[in-house]
Every structure is written in structure tokens, then in C-alpha cells.
A and B are shown apart, each in its own frame.
Chain A
Amino acid sequence: EAQVTQNPRYLITVTGKKLTVTCSQNMNHEYMSWYRQDPGLGLRQIYYSMNVEVTDKGDVPEGYKVSRKEKRNFPLILESPSPNQTSLYFCASSTSTSGGGTDTQYFGPGTRLTVL
């Protein structure tokens, strides 16, 4: 089954304790991205990756890191989480937009993060 998986689904942590949210897709997609979703603010992109070893900042990258060492994985790293990073996080993947392709996003199930 084609899917995007995220782990963990729920996480409660404390300020300053480093954490990683994993994301994996089995569709051989070039493009992967991370979003956070907050009430009243909608979906905002944190980071995206056009392909292996290629990452770039989205609209709200501060306080986050990503890496893309393999095509299928795109972990989100919070080196020193703070309460304002409490949010619902989604990983998404899509095919490349080169050659006239469209970037229909396939989203993971979400990770609800609470930073105390």
C-alpha cells in the first residue's frame, strides 16, 4: 500500500529535550516536506526536500532541522524544543514537478507534539 508513515503519532516532551520525528514514504517520491498545523494559521511548511541531500527552508523553519540521506526518509529534528513548537505536524511526499508533473501531496497521519 502506498503510504507515508510518521512516528511517533503522539509525543509529550519537555523544553530543551532533543527529539526526532521520523517520516518515511514507499512511493519513490523525490519531493518531501514537513508542515505544522495550528488553529487559525492553517498548514505552514517548515522544510522541504527536492531530492536526496537537497533541502530548503519553508515558511517557518526556525527551531527545526531536517536531513535527507535516503530518498524514502525525511526526519524532522527539534534540537531544543520550546512550548511554541507544540503543534500538529505532517510529513508529505510527492513526485517532482519537473517535466510538467504536478505535486499532489500525500500526507502522513500526523504527529501531535506537546512541549511542556
Chain B
Amino acid sequence: SQKIEQNSEALNIQEGKTATLTCNYTNYSPAYLQWYRQDPGRGPVFLLLIRENEKEKRKERLKVTFDTTLKQSLFHITASQPADSATYLCARRNSGNTPLVFGKGTRLSVIA
């Protein structure tokens, strides 16, 4: 089956630094990958989507890359702030109408 893995369960980073989170997938590349933010006890909120044929996508301080050779997506938060502390999830849809599959998430803590 197609898997998606976020290898780091937790990441601590100092305020002002760039946080980089990793999402790896197996087998064939999905048409796109999605990234979500989830705060404790709340539903995930969509942040960015990157398509297979896009190398990079940006939104304000966020940047996502898609490397089909490494089978990996990187999620960057530049100039990180304590308010960026949350769990970040990546997700893929394998094909057609199959269920969306989420990684287990990486819990980011930005320390002032």
C-alpha cells in the first residue's frame, strides 16, 4: 500500500530560526501533497498544496517543496514564532477515489 511518513514526532526550534519538517512517501508519486496545521484538541487546518509537477510553493513565511526523486516533501517555516507551535500533518491521496492518507504529524515547538 502507499504510505506517507513523517519521521520526526517532535521538533524543537528557537524563535527566529527556520523550521524544516519532512514528509516521505512510498511507491509512486501522488498527484499532490497537502500540508495541514493542527492545534491541540482542534481540527486540522489546510495550509498548502503542492502538485507533483511543482518544485516549490510559497505562502507568506511558509514554503513547501516536492522532490519526486527523493520521494519527499519538505515544509519550511521561516522566521519561526512561538505562535507557529503546533502539529503539522502531511497528506496524500493515492489515486482516484481512494481515501486521503495522513501522516502521523510532527509536533513543532518554537521556543522564545
Contacts and interface: CB of A to CB of B under 8 A. Distances in A.
Contacts, number: 54
A111 to B, nearest CB: 10
B89 interface: yes
A99 interface: no
Interface residues of B, number: 22
Given A42-B104, A102-B32, A104-B34, A110 B97 contact: no
A58 B49 CA distance: 22
A48 B73 CA distance: 26
Nearest to A41: B104
A105 interface: yes
Contacts of A33: 99-100
A59 B102 contact: no
Contacts of A88: 41
Interface of A: 4, 33, 35, 40-43, 45, 48, 50, 56, 58-59, 88, 90, 92, 97, 102-110, 112
Q: Lowest 3 A-B CB distances belong to which pairs?
A: A107-B43, A42-B104, A43-B102
Interface of B: 32, 34, 36, 41-46, 49, 89, 91, 93, 96-97, 99-105
